[in-house]
């Protein structure tokens, strides 16, 4: 049996778990929380992502001798075609890489900057003082391709053209659209259907493709082919840059050739905190990753295991910790080239202890002020990869609000992100819109280590859900002994309505959303404590994870039912 046949059989088996009888799935948990499928195990490589065909491409790259970084780029490129409702070459990227040779973590910030000619006084603000999201005023330079270039130059082993070839082929020949992606595509028509270039690229025949229908994007295939041949320069200095600037000039944008040519991705040092024997690593601002570290520093002062997940006290404590941290997020997180964010103070153990004392065990807070550490929407794709040499990648990429701004460059088949909509128009804010500045960012990759050894590359996609999700995954595994799959399938909370870096403020304590599976008596008690509970679906993110067992050398992968993806190894 050749490798390709074996890989296809493995994929078939993995997907078959989705349709196993519920009784078998329940047996899998041995009386614990319901898991939608088993953890996937393999010896040589593992990929977890939001689309099975993209996962298969990543495994193929690993089997061909590619590194974890090669596979991650190949998967991301494929997802830009297969899952355009969440990501693409018109968006931004962040990554954390464990390099087995140097035995250390490397961080990549490939988020784009605002155009040099766009200043706050030129923006026609919304009634609430924010930047119009679905307009050229929200555009920032797409950074994803620069991230590919930075990663590949340091850690790639295959030629970039070979890494991108599967995505080129898929985009040119077409692939069937999956269920969750098709539903998001259909919902997007109302918001994006009239935006320049959108229908031409993403509405073949004037409509969104249905589940199971073949979608093609030959223009995107041409773009990926150029990037494979010329590297990132094709996007920032070549034909794609020319088309993007021309589109901007024709549609009221502010991009110049200098904005694109001057863009660079950067290596950054991940930062961490400890939590009951593990280390969680995130990237520093302009992203929101340190919010997860702050939350864990607060929560470690509470006996969550003793409270139990089926208690109102557990959910109340988690929610209140989130509220405290997100007020700091609104006050202190910004581009550190423009603002000296007090990262060390924010993630210090002493500060976490002081903030933990502000939680009222009996009542939900209605209003919280940011501390002094020196004394909700968005869609994203996340993927994890591990290779046979012990390298691991945690990578996240996004257009921000689904298709981003909705404006699409038809010559090359991609939409332009609207991440610049997260700037603040108040000059007093650290996140104030200034030329060539990076906006506050929601997308965050995560990485966990044990005693300095790599353990888990994971993420939870979805706007402001992401730090909340990272914390819940860690708490599920560390405090409640869940495995890699159960930790993602377990019901989650999402709290919305905290103060935002854009300038909107929390005044009523926000809104709590709890997934099905939380007991009714818990909801009643939370309401009695003053929490505003609302039912909703679709805002709880999407989890992927890859982990390594150093005793056996076995790799594990997990994905969840909230997305269309899978985990697959070889």
Q: What is the DSSP string of 493-535?
A: EEEE----TTS----S--EEEE-TTS-HHHHHHHHHTT--B--
Q: What is the mean pLDDT of residues 387-408?
A: 96
Q: Domain count for the chain, please give it.
A: 1
Q: Which residues are catalytic?
A: 380
Which of the four pLDDT bands, split at 50, 70 and 90, describes residue 460?
Answer: very high
What is the 3 state secondary structure string of 158-203?
Answer: CCHHHHHHHHHHHHHHCEECCHHHHHHHHHHHHHHCCCCCHHHHHC
Say whether pLDDT at 444 is over 50. Answer: yes
Which of the four pLDDT bands, split at 50, 70 and 90, describes residue 8?
Answer: very low
pLDDT in tens, 230-255: 999 999 999 999 999 999 999 999 99
The predicted model scores a pTM of 0.91
pLDDT at position 76 is: 98
Question: Which of 113-127, 464-478, 496-510 is least confident?
Answer: 496-510
Say whether pLDDT at 9 is over 70. Answer: no
Say whether pLDDT at 1 is over 70. Answer: no
Q: What is the mean pLDDT of residues 372-400?
A: 84
Which of the four pLDDT bands, split at 50, 70 and 90, describes residue 257?
Answer: very high
pLDDT in tens, 280-315: 999 999 999 999 999 999 999 999 999 999 999 999
Handedness of CA 39, 44, 48, 52 (dihedral sign): negative
Neighbours of 60 (CB within 10 A): 18
Q: Could you tell me if residue 402 is left (phi over 0), alpha (psi between -120 and 50 degrees) or otherwise beta?
A: left
CA–CA gap between residue 45 and residue 60 (Å, rounded)? 10
* Alpha helix stretches (DSSP H) within 377-519: 465-478, 484-489
Say whether pLDDT at 467 is over 70. Answer: yes
Q: What is the mean pLDDT of residues 415-443?
A: 95
Which of the four pLDDT bands, split at 50, 70 and 90, describes residue 56?
Answer: very high
User: Which of the pair, 94 or 19, is modelled with greater confidence?
Assistant: 94
pLDDT at position 373 is: 56
CB-count exposure of residue 521 (10 Å: 0-12, 13-18, 19+): exposed
Say whether pLDDT at 428 is over 60. Answer: yes
Task: Give the domain range for residue 289.
Answer: 1-570
Q: Could you tell me if residue 299 is left (phi over 0), alpha (psi between -120 and 50 degrees) or otherwise beta?
A: alpha
pLDDT at position 11 is: 45
Give the rounded distance of the alpha carbon of 228 from its chain centre.
24
């Amino acid at each position: 049996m050749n490798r390709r046949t074996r890989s296809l059989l493995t994929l078939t088996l993995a997907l078959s778990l989705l349709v196993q009888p519920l009784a078998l799935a329940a047996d899998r948990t041995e009386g614990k929380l319901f898991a939608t499928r088993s953890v996937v195990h393999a010896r040589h490589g593992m990929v977890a992502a939001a689309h099975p065909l993209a996962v298969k491409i990543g495994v193929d790259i690993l089997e061909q001798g590619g590194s974890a970084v090669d596979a991650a780029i190949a998967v991301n490129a494929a997802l830009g075609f297969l899952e355009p409702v969440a990501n693409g070459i018109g968006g931004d990227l962040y990554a954390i890489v464990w390099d087995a040779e140097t035995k250390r973590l490397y961080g990549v910030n490939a988020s784009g900057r605002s155009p040099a000619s766009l200043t706050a006084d030129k923006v026609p603000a919304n009634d609430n003082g924010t930047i119009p999201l679905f307009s050229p005023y929200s555009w920032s330079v797409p950074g994803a391709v620069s991230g590919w270039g930075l990663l590949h130059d340091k850690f790639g082993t295959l030629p970039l053209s070979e890494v991108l070839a599967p995505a080129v082929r898929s985009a040119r020949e077409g692939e069937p659209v999956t269920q969750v992606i098709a539903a998001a595509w259909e919902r997007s028509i109302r918001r994006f259907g009239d935006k320049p270039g959108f229908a031409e690229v993403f509405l073949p025949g004037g409509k969104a493709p249905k589940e199971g229908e073949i979608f093609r994007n030959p223009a995107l295939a041409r773009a990926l082919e150029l990037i494979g041949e010329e590297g990132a320069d094709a996007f920032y200095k070549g034909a794609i840059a020319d088309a993007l600037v021309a589109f901007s000039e024709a549609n009221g944008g502010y991009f110049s050739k200098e904005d694109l040519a001057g863009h660079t991705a950067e290596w950054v040092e991940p930062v961490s905190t400890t939590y009951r024997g593990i280390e969680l690593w995130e990237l520093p601002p302009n992203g929101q990753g340190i919010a997860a570290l702050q939350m864990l520093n607060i929560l470690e002062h509470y006996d969550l295991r003793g409270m139990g997940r089926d208690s109102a006290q557990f959910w109340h404590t988690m929610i209140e910790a989130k509220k405290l941290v997100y007020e700091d997020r609104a006050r202190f997180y910004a581009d550190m080239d423009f603002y000296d964010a007090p990262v060390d103070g924010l993630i210090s153990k002493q500060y976490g202890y002081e903030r933990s004392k502000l939680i009222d065990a009996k009542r939900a807070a209605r209003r919280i002020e940011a501390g002094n550490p020196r004394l909700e929407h968005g869609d994203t794709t996340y993927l994890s990869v591990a290779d046979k040499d012990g390298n691991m990648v945690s990578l996240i990429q996004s257009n921000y609000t689904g298709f981003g701004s909705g404006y699409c460059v038809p010559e090359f088949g991609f939409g332009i992100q609207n991440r610049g909509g997260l700037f603040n128009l108040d000059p007093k804010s650290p996140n104030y819109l200034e030329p060539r500045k990076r906006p506050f960012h929601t997308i965050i990759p995560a990485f966990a280590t044990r005693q300095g050894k790599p353990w888990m590359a994971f993420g939870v996609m979805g706007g402001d859900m992401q730090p909340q999700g990272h914390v819940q995954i860690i708490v599920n595994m560390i405090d409640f002994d869940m495995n890699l799959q159960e930790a993602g399938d377990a019901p989650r909370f999402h709290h919305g309505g905290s103060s935002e870096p854009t300038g909107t403020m929390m005044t009523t304590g926000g809104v709590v959303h709890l997934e099905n599976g939380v007991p009714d008596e818990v909801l009643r008690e939370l309401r009695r404590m003053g929490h505003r509970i609302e039912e909703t679906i679709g805002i709880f993110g999407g989890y992927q994870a890859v982990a390594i067992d150093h005793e056996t050398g076995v790799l594990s992968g997990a994905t969840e039912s909230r997305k269309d993806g899978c985990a697959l190894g070889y």
